[in-house]
Amino acid sequence: MKNGIDSSVQELIRKYSLANAIKFDGKANAKAVIGKLLAERPELRSRARDIITQVNKTVKEINRISITDQISELEKIAPELLETTKERRSKELPPLKEAKIGEVTTRLPPEPSGYPHIGHAYAGYINWYYARQYEGRLILRFEDTNPRNVNQEYYEAFKEGYQWMGIDWDEELNVSDDIPYFYDHAEKLLDRGEVYFCSCSADVISENRRTGAACEHRQTSNEENQKIWNEILEGQHTEGEIVCRLRIDMTHSNAVMRDPNIFRIIDFPHPIQGAKYRLWPTYDFANALEDHRNGISHVLRSNEFASRGELQAYIRNLFSYAQPIIQEWSRFAIEGSPVSKRKIRPLIESEVISGWDDIRLTTLLALRRRGILPEAIREMTREVGLSVAQPILDWSLLLGINRRLVDPLASRYYCVTQPKQVELINTKPFTAKIPYHPDFKDRGSRKIPVEKRVFIDGMDAKQLRKGDIFRLKHAFNLQVEKKTKDTLQCSYAGDELDKAKLKIQWVTPDSIPLRLFIPDVLFIKGEVNQKSLQIIEGLGECALQDVKSETIIQLERKGFGFVEKNGEKVNINMTE
């Protein structure tokens, strides 16, 4: 055969050309066909030039015939290529590196120094997910080695936050319970001459680290270092005066490795340990050893720790401890929503926001009060995954997922704002029966008697002109007879559904006052958004009286919300 291309290859070319043409309106693309062909028959790659000539020729021929003919020919020679199957499945996290069933241990490592937020939930869920996926263990470990940062109430706050997220753990411990373990290790290093005490100021240490210069303390004799260690444990030396450093390499390309501090004096009572210790390990030292002590197989964390990994591995190597698998992802941000205490605290102090559970924040308390379901956060986490790019998430991602999840759960209620009175001129007394959920009628309904007056939303009233026919939803139709400044006079206009121009929500005169809180992003281009919270007064139907505080409902045509009752007051935090 010409160019040595045999008939089986010819046939393949013809098949793929036809399939490609059919996929794209009868016009095949030679490049796509070549790609497909060479992917399937890699041994042909050496003869790519000949193949290309042949493909070009075939594609030209095929593009000349009609798409119906193309389909019928392909049906004869390769019907399997005509199938177009689309599958849809919910996204899952990728398999974990070097993980075996039953041999995975991960950790939740919060510092109890504030309230858990969506970032903690995200990291927590990933650690939980893999621990459960591989039938392993999950350890809740409070990283409380800085007594000046930690506070008793936050230990509890984290546990509640994780529980709310559906994250359960197999073991709970505090790093601060293991201080003797760190001392043991430090003393071994002291014996081996791996550490020294440095009394340079923090500024000097930092500067030397930048320039790669060693200070005189690096030369301190072992005996002297041992002596200082004991002095500190006995209560000599003061906070800030001296630190214990690991002697590694002051010119290392990773600045973290330039003789890091591993212990410092902190004379401050610890919420759990009290005044038991004054010499506290720093993050890297405690973390590296604690991961080993806990038998952590996989360290799953955000990548702000990336450059510390080398140091932590170095520390474990000093003791010939095995290294865990490390998997990192980028820390993410939500557009316009600060996470850091530094940014939020001033907003609370200046009363821009009401507190750590203000519905504009991303603390778990805030998200819950906004009617966000934990599953929405979990799904969002799976969606964003272990990406190493720098995601700046939009609220719409979380809110969109949440809307879908909350829809089947939320009972529907009527609510009107800027109420406009509607006088019913000639209607007979009527009792409306309104189901709580349109898709689940078995959840029952409430009955609302209608007499001489109802209220509708001001926005709806605005659209109505004299003569218009509209429907009080789940009741009957009305025709506007007269429109005055604060009243619509209406007459009965039948029961047929399709006659009404608008079908609107309404409430009776005995309805209850509501306050709707509508959140928006807190920051726009770095400036505080003055309209980040709208508070709107409204009237809600009586059935809202029976709704328990802290349930998620839908106010029809207004959105989903989280009910909060405070005595007589009914507040509803809208999710968006």
Edge-to-edge, what's the strand order for the sheet holding 261-265? 195-198, 243-246, 261-265, 279-281
Q: What is the amino acid identity at position 172?
A: E
Q: Which C-beta is closer to RNA: that of 221 or that of 238?
A: 238
Q: Which C-beta is closer to RNA: that of 42 or that of 567?
A: 42
What is the rounded distance in angstroms from the CA atom of residue 529 to the CA atom of residue 521? 7
82: phi then psi, degrees, rounded to nearest 5: -85, -20
DSSP state, residue 62: H
Spell out the alpha helix ranges (H) of 100-213. 118-133, 152-164, 179-191, 202-211
Q: Which C-beta is closer to RNA: that of 189 or that of 256?
A: 256
What is the rounded distance in angstroms from the CA atom of residue 75 to the CA atom of residue 82? 7
DSSP state, residue 363: B
Structural tokens at position 341: 């205490």
Q: Shortest approach of RNA to residue 319 CB, angstroms?
A: 20
Q: Shortest approach of RNA to residue 552 CB, angstroms?
A: 12
What is the rounded distance in angstroms from the CA atom of residue 352 to the CA atom of residue 369? 18
Q: Which C-beta is closer to RNA: that of 151 or that of 354?
A: 151
Q: Shortest approach of RNA to residue 538 CB, angstroms?
A: 14
What is the rounded distance in angstroms from the CA atom of residue 518 to the CA atom of residue 559? 10
Q: If you compute the radius of gyration of the chain from its CA atoms, what whole number of angstroms results?
A: 34
Q: Shortest approach of RNA to residue 356 CB, angstroms?
A: 18
Spell out the alpha helix ranges (H) of 212-340. 222-233, 283-293, 309-318
Structural tokens at position 406: 């909350």
User: 312 to each of 103, 126, 257, 308, 326, how far by Cα in Å?
Assistant: 22, 21, 10, 6, 11
Q: Which C-beta is closer to RNA: that of 247 or that of 354?
A: 247
Q: Which C-beta is closer to RNA: that of 120 or that of 298?
A: 120
Q: Shortest approach of RNA to residue 389 CB, angstroms?
A: 4
What is the rounded distance in angstroms from the CA atom of residue 364 to the CA atom of residue 160? 9
∠ CA 472-476-481, rounded to 5° = 75
String of DSSP letters for 469-489:
EEEETTS-EEEEEEE-SSEEE
What is the rounded distance in angstroms from the CA atom of residue 284 to the CA atom of residue 156? 25
Q: Shortest approach of RNA to residue 289 CB, angstroms?
A: 13
Q: Shortest approach of RNA to residue 143 CB, angstroms?
A: 3
Q: Which C-beta is closer to RNA: that of 253 or that of 320?
A: 253
Q: Shortest approach of RNA to residue 574 CB, angstroms?
A: 12
Q: Which C-beta is closer to RNA: that of 148 or that of 569?
A: 148
Structural tokens at position 501: 């121009």
Q: Which C-beta is closer to RNA: that of 150 or that of 365?
A: 150
Q: What is the amino acid identity at position 101?
A: I
Q: Shortest approach of RNA to residue 351 CB, angstroms?
A: 27
